[in-house]
Amino acid sequence: MNQPLILIIEDEESLRRFLVPTLSGQRYQVLSAATAAEGLAMARSHNPDLVLLDLGLPDRDGMAVLKELRTWSRKPVVILSARNQERDKVRALDQGADDYLAKPFGAAELLARIRVALRHILQADLADPVVHGGGIRIDLEQREVRLEGRPVKLTGLEYRLLEALVRRNGKVATHSQLLSEVWGPGGEGNTHYLRIYMAMLRKKLEADPTRPRHFITEPSVGYRLNLDARED
Ligand code: CA
């Protein structure tokens, strides 16, 4: 199998010195750029399978790089964001970034996010309508949900929210993405609906709804569904 090519666009040299060997040590080919201009040129010439994109670049805003990438590429973009860039992070996700890593992050977290983002392109259209993990089984074709083999009854909105998360395939979904997908274009201001319906999904599908393993809150960003979490 050929090795996926990852392009890192990050001006912080110390971070590149961590990222390049960490990724090369796995099964990835790695390219890195320190400026937006260099990064965009490399993206065009090498068409990487995934881009790790810093939002704070010296020559152009990372958001502008994302917009330009998205004019010709649907490949996954994972944002590298500093703690004070909460709003930019959400904007980047709403504008087509696939996921984000908040600095500082460790190697395990980095590699997990990359695996999820790359898995997403392999299963872009969810060829298999059945997903399962952690005792939960969701059949998108039959619209059937089971927990430990037993059918779970969901309301229409609960199911739509679950489906929107499943289709993200482990990636984060922002509040506004979920609200518009589940409640329609008019629903984007109603963040409290999400909290209510997420609580109902957790109650029905988590072993301990107060310590969710699968329906993960990403503070001030949104939610992700992690079916790989192990039960213990
Ligand atoms: Ca930076």
| 219 Cα to the center of ligand 1, angstroms | 22
Cα 193 to averaged position of ligand 1 atoms, centre (Å): 35
User: Quick one: pLDDT band at residue 119, thresholds 50, 70, 90?
Assistant: confident
Rounded to the nearest whole angstrom, what is the distance from the C-alpha of residue 127 to the centroid of ligand 1? Answer: 37
Q: What whole-number distance in Å separates Cα of residue 213 and Cα of residue 45? A: 41
Tell me: pLDDT of 122 over 60.
no
Q: What is the rounded average pLDDT of the residues 64-76?
A: 91
> How close is the Cα of 23 to the center of ligand 1, in Å?
19
Report residue 232's pLDDT band, with 50, 70 and 90 as the boundaries.
Answer: very low
| Residue 202: its H or E element | helix 191-205
Cβ atoms of 113 and 101 within 8 Å: the answer is yes
On the 0-12 / 13-18 / 19+ scale of CB atoms within 10 A, 223 is buried
Kindly report the CATH number that applies to the domain delimited by 5-125. 3.40.50.2300
Q: Tell me, what's the pLDDT at 121?
A: 61
Q: Where are the domains of the chain?
A: 5-125, 155-225
158-190 pLDDT, tens per residue?
999 999 999 888 889 999 889 988 887 777 778
Mean pLDDT estimate for the chain = 89
- The answer, yes or no, to whether residue 124 has pLDDT greater than 70, is no
- Residue 41 corresponds to which tokens in the numbers above? 């040129």
Number of other residues whose CB lies within 10 A of the CB of residue 198: 20
Class of domain 155-225: mainly alpha
Q: How far apart are CA 144 and CA 225, in angstroms?
A: 17
pLDDT at 230: 54
Would you call 54 helix, strand, or coil by DSSP? strand
Say which residue, 228 or 214, is predicted with more confidence: 214
pLDDT-based confidence at residue 136 (cuts at 50, 70, 90) = very high
How far, in Å, is the centroid of ligand 1 from the Cα of 209? 37
Q: In sequence order, which residues have a C-beta less than 8 Å from that of residue 207 and are 6 or more positions away?
A: 135, 213, 231
Q: What is the pTM of this model?
A: 0.74
**Residue 91 is encoded by which pair of tokens?**
């904007």
Contact 34, 21 (CB under 8 A): no
Distances (CA, A) of 223 to 46, 53, 87, 181, 185: 32, 21, 15, 14, 19
Ligand 1 center from residue 80 Cα (angstroms): 9
